[in-house]
Amino acid sequence: MNQKENSAVEQKQSHAELPGFAALGLSGALLKAVAQSGLSDPKPIQEQAIPPHLAGHDILGIAQTGSGKTAAFSLPILQKIVNLGSKRGPKSARALILAPTRELAVQIEEMIRAVSKGLHISTALVLGGVSRNSQVKKIKLGVDILVATPGRLVDLVREGDVSLAETRYLVLDEADRMLDMGFLPDVKRLAKATHPKRQTALFSATMPAEIAALAESLMKEPVRIEIAPQSTTANEIEQGVVMARKRQKRPVLARMLADEKMGQVIVFARTKHGADIVTRNLERDGFAAAVIHGNKSQNARQRALNGFREGSIRILVATDIAARGIDVPGISHVINYDLPDEAESYVHRIGRTGRNGANGVAVTLCDPSETDKLRQVERIIRMRLPVLASHLDQPDPEPRKPEPGEPRAEPHGADAGRNPHGKSRSAHHRPKNLSRKPPREAAKDQPAPNRHHPAEAERAERTAKPPRKKFRGRRFGRKAAAKAA
Ligand code: AMP
């Protein structure tokens, strides 16, 4: 046992008789603030991570959202910062926490503020998609804890608005998700800019080779902590499948949501476009719903999430961007409108319900073309999902007549009417008076949207396709899934 490990054991022994977080080494005002914030007995990940972190070790945590990892990495950092007092250099951050999504970053900062009330800890958020001036202003005098997504922070560091030279605590949260989203080069750049004697904690739900290599390059003899994934612990979630063809999914969903027993519901769609269509169809079917996906502005995403969290929004439609990291208590149902491209995402999606011991229900709508994906999910969760109902012996619903003034009926399924490549409407759905022109020429016939008209401009932005990129090999798996979200 080395010296550091010895001191960790001694520290643990000397606190062993104290209850709760005190036994892990937290003390003084922080201990009081933590108790007041409502955190009860430490969770296993906190028991395992806090003492070695306080003793100066790097931490490698394999754990998911819901395990209590945010407090596991925040509390020891807070304890050290409280002990150091309030000396901060301009534009500096004593601790840096990097998260892959803006929602997760916001959630982490909220948690830190909640557990450090009254301790004069200054925090700041640096996120893409929102004004940088207010972020720069907040950091000007220096902060204790900076929570950031990597892209924007790289810009601010490069331009000299933030200095990480005095950052001695670094946390990488959901590192595998950062890898999926292509953030690894930025993460490495930022880590390099921190103090050479920093302490690092890295948390990841999975440990692909790239993350193991990153951990190896950024940490020294880390203490490794592994918490069982939700796929093997979330027994509280009742799961099942409803077989329905793509065009049947819309009315099936509407009937499910009409059930008053359903409280707050999150509906997952596979693509951003699909999520928009599901939301529009829900609204047309009389349900108020908000949508959250990667093409929405940060303000719109946060507004939707806040409304859902406060309960003013009952139905949230989301892509996999919300499948991880988001912690909204009290979601009674998760509905998978489409199966995810990656079986692993299923586990993250259903983990939004049944949180903190509550009961939850997860229902997956499955078109026959999705059965391969369903089997992959079943392999991962190591159980056969019961078929709760099947609509396959029933005819597809009649296409709905547009309301007066409504442009045209939308397809029934999130991606219904699209060919397998998701590019254009099939001949079956083309209005009869339209000639069969190549798509590009047909597009030329459409009047250009009036971008000064707010609704038209918004519609154009929503439906605009990103410029086609040169295809460079396989586009499947994790990266494609992250792109779709
Ligand atoms: P996380 O995995 O960090 O997203 O935490 C999941 C949820 O568990 C959050 O709502 C936390 O507030 C909650 N939580 C974390 N630690 C504790 C604790 N020791 N006691 C009660 N709730 C906790």
Which residue CA neighbors atom 19 of ligand 1 most closely? 42
For residues 170 and 219, the answer to whether their CB atoms sit within 8 Å is: no
pLDDT digits (tens, 9 = 90+) for 302-354: 899 899 988 899 999 999 877 666 678 888 899 999 999 988 789 888 888 87
Average pLDDT over residues 398-406: 64
291 & 214 share domain: no
Mean pLDDT across the chain? 81
pTM (two decimals): 0.60
The answer, yes or no, to whether any atom of ligand 1 lies below 6 A from the CB of 70, is yes
Q: Which of 176, 200, 226 is the last residue of a domain?
A: 226
Question: 264 lies in a domain?
Answer: yes
Q: How much is the pLDDT for 474?
A: 41
Question: 312 lies in a domain?
Answer: yes
Q: How much is the pLDDT for 285?
A: 94
Q: Which of 344, 366, 398 is the last residue of a domain?
A: 398
Q: What is the domain range of residue 63?
A: 3-226
Residue 268 pairs in a beta bridge with 318, 336
216 & 301 share domain: no
Check pLDDT > 80 for residue 290.
Answer: yes
141 & 280 share domain: no
Q: Which of 366, 398, 430 is the last residue of a domain?
A: 398
Answer with the residue of higher pLDDT: 284 or 482.
Answer: 284
Atom of ligand 1 nearest to the CA of 41: 19
Q: How much is the pLDDT for 228?
A: 66
Q: Which of 41, 43, 147 has the most ligand 1 atoms within 8 A of CB, as the residue to mutate?
A: 43
- Contact residues for 70 (Cβ-Cβ < 8 A; gap 6+): 107, 108, 111, 112, 173
For residues 98 and 187, the answer to whether their CB atoms sit within 8 Å is: yes
pLDDT digits (tens, 9 = 90+) for 223-280: 999 886 544 435 678 999 999 999 999 999 999 999 888 889 999 999 999 999 999 9
Check pLDDT > 90 for residue 1.
Answer: no
131 & 254 share domain: no
Q: How far apart are CA 250 and CA 247, in angstroms?
A: 7
Q: How much is the pLDDT for 181?
A: 86
Answer with the residue of higher pLDDT: 420 or 273.
Answer: 273
79 & 179 share domain: yes
Q: How much is the pLDDT for 40?
A: 81
CATH number of the domain residue 177 falls in:
3.40.50.300
Which residue CA neighbors atom 11 of ligand 1 most closely? 68
For residues 145 and 134, the answer to whether their CB atoms sit within 8 Å is: no
pLDDT digits (tens, 9 = 90+) for 106-150: 999 999 999 999 999 999 999 988 889 999 999 999 999 999 999
Answer with the residue of higher pLDDT: 315 or 461.
Answer: 315
Q: How far apart are CA 60 and CA 79, in angstroms?
A: 19
The confidence band for 13, taking pLDDT boundaries of 50, 70 and 90, is very low
Question: 192 lies in a domain?
Answer: yes
pLDDT digits (tens, 9 = 90+) for 170-213: 999 999 889 888 999 999 999 999 999 999 999 998 888 899 99
Q: How much is the pLDDT for 485?
A: 58
246 & 181 share domain: no
219 & 278 share domain: no
Q: Hey, which bits of 207-328 come out as E strands?
A: 223-226, 237-243, 264-268, 289-292, 315-318
Q: Phi and psi dihedrals of 260, rounded to 5? A: -70, -15
DSSP 328-359: -TTEEEEEESS--SSHHHHHHHHTTSSGGG--
The confidence band for 403, taking pLDDT boundaries of 50, 70 and 90, is low
Question: 459 lies in a domain?
Answer: no
**CA–centroid distance, residue 38 to ligand 1 (Å):** 9
306 & 208 share domain: no
Which residue CA neighbors atom 23 of ligand 1 most closely? 39
Check pLDDT > 50 for residue 445.
Answer: no
143 & 183 share domain: yes
Q: How much is the pLDDT for 185?
A: 96
Question: 316 lies in a domain?
Answer: yes
The confidence band for 217, taking pLDDT boundaries of 50, 70 and 90, is very high
Q: How much is the pLDDT for 340?
A: 94
The confidence band for 482, taking pLDDT boundaries of 50, 70 and 90, is low
Q: What's the total number of domains in the chain?
A: 2
**CA–centroid distance, residue 144 to ligand 1 (Å):** 22
247 & 216 share domain: no
The two tokens of residue 81 are: 């910062």
24 & 165 share domain: yes
Q: Which of 70, 107, 328 has the most ligand 1 atoms within 8 A of CB, as the residue to mutate?
A: 70
Question: 284 lies in a domain?
Answer: yes
The answer, yes or no, to whether any atom of ligand 1 lies below 6 A from the CB of 324, is no
